[in-house]
């Protein structure tokens, strides 16, 4: 009998749909399983990064959300994935789906928010598509690049590495998910200086995303719950499970960790929350940690 989505969850579905995909190594360096696909660019040390992301009314935002913030979130989510690999964004396509009854004024306001975010990060909006849908959604296809340095993958963590996060976690219910700024400059700094051995953004909660990074790297981890930085009013359970923090989760060698905070040039806070262990070790985190999943029942 075929398993239901509520049983296998988001990761299980992706494995079932894409686990058999093969990539042409002459053109593609990284396919599914990381924050972005990585394509070969011009020359030896140039990489193109390709990402798509979507926001859907009733799932990623409510009808009451400010239109400008909806537009911002749509683009910022994809930007956060580029940040997680240390890339610089270039251009975006926007697919818009909406019911015929949708007020034009609201849609224009959504696009104003999207356009302001694009301007702030130097992104060219170069086209897209529109379609009728039962509920409003925006899907962003985003192109970025790493020129002169390699993107940071999820798969580079080694036993003994320290685990860091930026910012504070658990503020989804306080609307941070609509107003956050992607950590693009921070991600580029970590990638250019080869400080991050593995990196991803926290979109589904630390309880889901840290195990994903560990699996990609073939390691386990030991998490220190007391070291997890909580947003104002947030609980540890919210920080682990609510998702949509869009902070950076990364690992670094002990030799880099000693001086990381001294050299860190950003106002964004840094927090060491654990250590990477060999794969044979059992990962350690609170039993109630599971993160957010679009399909799995809890």
Tokens describing residue 61? 């935002």
Order of all β-strands in the sheet with 162-166: 198-201, 248-252, 162-166, 270-277, 220-223
For the cut 80, the answer to whether the pLDDT of residue 1 exceeds it is: no
Q: Given this model, what pLDDT does residue 10 score?
A: 74
- Domains, the chain, with CATH or none: 5-147 (3.30.1330.10), 154-277 (3.90.650.10)
Q: Given this model, what pLDDT does residue 129 score?
A: 96
- Beta strands at 198-201 and 137-147: parallel, antiparallel or unpaired: unpaired
Q: Given this model, what pLDDT does residue 288 score?
A: 65
For the cut 80, the answer to whether the pLDDT of residue 289 exceeds it is: no
The CA angle 195-196-202, to the nearest 5 degrees, is: 145
Q: Given this model, what pLDDT does residue 81 score?
A: 96
Q: Given this model, what pLDDT does residue 283 score?
A: 82
**Mean pLDDT estimate for the chain:** 91
pLDDT tier, 217 (very low <50, low <70, confident <90, very high otherwise)? very high
Map 3-55 to HEC letters.
CCHHHHHHHHHHHHHHCCCCCCCCCEEECCCCCCEEEECCCCCEEEEEEEEEE
Tokens describing residue 91? 């251009």
Average confidence (pLDDT) over 258-282: 92
Whole-angstrom distance, CA of residue 169 vs CA of residue 202: 9
pLDDT in tens, 8-65: 777 777 777 777 878 777 787 887 777 789 998 888 889 999 999 999 999 899 999 9
Q: Given this model, what pLDDT does residue 44 score?
A: 83
Q: Given this model, what pLDDT does residue 294 score?
A: 63
pLDDT tier, 163 (very low <50, low <70, confident <90, very high otherwise)? very high
Q: Given this model, what pLDDT does residue 2 score?
A: 67
């Amino acid at each position: 009998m075929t398993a239901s989505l509520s049983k296998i969850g988001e990761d299980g579905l992706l494995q079932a749909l894409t686990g058999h995909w093969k990539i042409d190594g002459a053109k593609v360096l990284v396919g599914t399983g990381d924050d972005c696909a990585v394509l070969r660019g011009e020359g030896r040390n140039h990489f193109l990064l390709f990402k798509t992301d979507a926001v859907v009314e009733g799932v990623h935002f409510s009808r009451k959300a400010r239109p400008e913030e909806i537009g911002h979130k749509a683009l910022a989510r994809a930007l956060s994935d580029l940040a997680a690999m240390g890339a610089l964004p270039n251009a975006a396509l926007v697919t818009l789906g909406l019911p015929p009854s949708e007020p034009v004024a609201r849609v224009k306001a959504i696009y104003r928010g999207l356009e302001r975010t694009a301007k702030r990060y130097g992104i060219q909006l170069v086209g897209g598509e529109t379609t009728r849908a039962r509920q409003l959604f925006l899907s962003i296809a985003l192109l970025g690049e790493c020129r002169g340095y390699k993107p940071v993958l999820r798969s580079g963590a080694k036993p003994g590495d320290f685990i860091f996060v930026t910012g504070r976690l658990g503020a989804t219910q306080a609307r941070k998910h609509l107003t956050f700024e992607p950590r693009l400059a921070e991600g580029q700094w970590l990638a250019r200086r080869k400080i991050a051995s593995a990196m991803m953004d926290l979109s589904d909660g630390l309880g889901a995303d840290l195990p994903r990074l560990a699996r990609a790297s073939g390691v386990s981890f030991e998490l220190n719950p007391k070291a997890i930085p909580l947003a104002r009013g947030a609980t540890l359970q919210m920080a682990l499970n609510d998702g949509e923090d869009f902070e950076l989760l990364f690992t670094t060698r002990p030799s880099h960790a000693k001086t990381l905070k001294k050299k860190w040039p950003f106002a964004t806070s840094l927090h060491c929350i654990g250590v990477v262990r060999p794969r044979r070790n059992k990962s350690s985190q609170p039993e109630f940690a599971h993160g957010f999943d679009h399909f799995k029942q809890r």
